[in-house]
Amino acid sequence: MPVNSFSDYPMSWAPDKQELTYPIYYCLADMMERDIKSGKLSANTKLPPQRELADFLDLNLSTITKAYKLCEMRGLIHAVTGRGTFVTPYANVSTSTVEKSTAPRIEMALIHPFYESNAAIRDLTVEILKKPFSEQLFEYSHPLGDRGQILAGARWLSRFGLDAGEHNTIIAAGAQNALATILSSLFEAGDRIAVDTYTYPNFISLANQLYLQLVPIENDREGMRPDQLESACALQNIKGVYMMPAGSNPTNIAWSDARKTEIGGIIRKMDLMGIEDDNYASLLETPYIPVTLEAPGNCIYVSGLSKPLCPGLRIAYLYVPESYINPMEQGIFSQNLKISSLNMEIAAEIIRSGLACKIIQKKQRSALRRNGIYVSYFPDRPACMESYYQWLELPVHCTGRLCEAELARLGVSVFGAERFSVGNQVKANAVRVATCSAKSDEELKQGLTILRGHIRDQEEASPSFIV
């Protein structure tokens, strides 16, 4: 029996002991996750001290500690020195960017990277299939691609100044699978990875599934702050850093060359594992200089083709340092992430034929046109003219989550800031607006008209009536 009586004692969380099954710590963590995801435990709720909960449930303190640690690794709770343990803000907000709703809406949430070049890729595919021995593309082949396909990937990576060749280029089944392979092959449960305070939501989901802890690092206008990264490394035993220096998703913050040099120096000094995810780098007018060049022995460079070329191919090229090649290849083999031989050949031929440059130029023009429309609606807001999306700050009393919900009611899809948030930050008055995804320029204008009208309504509303 518990040492103390809790019959009249208020507790912020009092799980039912009768529901516990073995292993108890794991079951208790699942119960906490259920209550957080259902809203029973709301954001920023202070949880009972571990000793108090152990006494309440008549369990060993170590069992409670393991349950709390597991929930912390899942990104559900966080500890504040001297104050206690709290439910992480937005822990019950979906980080998924895959929506199941079939209701007709103007799409400005998901990124649809301009599909007008798909006809040219179809025609190229037909020519590939007319070649002698093309039927071999439908056979079982090497999971990592043949030599010609790997060299085409190395050629693509070389455009960023990387010393890529047959020995250190890996082909993956898209950037998302590449990230999954990196995290599952090179990290272990409990490892800590530094990320931007707002970052790619699918990376957040992957980390949570693998019980990796994400440590948010503040940004300024030049990118991730070196002093904050160094401090986190000293205090929290950081193992890796995930970066999108060409333009953060969702904030569009592009790192300065000086900042890349500083962060690269910290990666070398602290012997961190760098993951540079730059699917948008090839869309930039100015040639992109990767952070990986500052720490080539520590960084994996991930260059997906979905955004610059064709999402249906699901191809990404990776520059991988020598020390990571074997575990990465084993990870691909063990997870059976075999890529279609036909898709690898199509991607290689797009690069070899020069079609890649034409497609990129066409997408660049489309992005400039669409973002020009966006700027005409929000002329006083920052905008990245080369991007597929914009980061739009809302009135200080208006959250991204509520804006997302209200716009959905009005027939427009955007993503609120909470989907991208890491850690215990409370500022979330922003939405990501995908300017590339509307079916036409006119549809984009309709969506932006509704969005602008909603923001003006919020600006005129009294903050006291806004939740």
Domain boundaries, the chain: 15-85, 104-110+355-458, 117-352
pLDDT at 102: 58
Q: What is the pLDDT of residues 51-83, one digit of tens each?
A: 999 999 999 999 999 999 888 888 888 888 888
Assign domain 15-85 one CATH number from 2.20.140.10, 1.10.1740.10, 1.10.10.10, 3.40.190.10: 1.10.10.10
CATH number of 104-110+355-458: 3.90.1150.10
pTM of the model: 0.84
Nearest-angstrom CA–CA distance, 283 and 288: 9
End-to-end CA distance of the chain: 43
Is pLDDT of 404 > 80?
yes
Beta strands in 134-178 (DSSP E): 169-172
Residue of 159 and 335 predicted with greater confidence = 159
Q: Which CATH class is domain 117-352?
A: alpha beta
Q: Distances from the Cα of 79 to the Cαs of 53, 72, 87, 453, in angstroms? A: 16, 8, 9, 40
Q: In the predicted model, what is the mean pLDDT of residues 253-277?
A: 97
Is pLDDT of 464 > 90?
no
Rg of the chain over Cα atoms, rounded to whole angstroms, equals 24
Pairing of strands 192-196, 213-217: parallel
- Half-sphere exposure of residue 336: CA atoms within 13 angstroms, side-chain side: 1
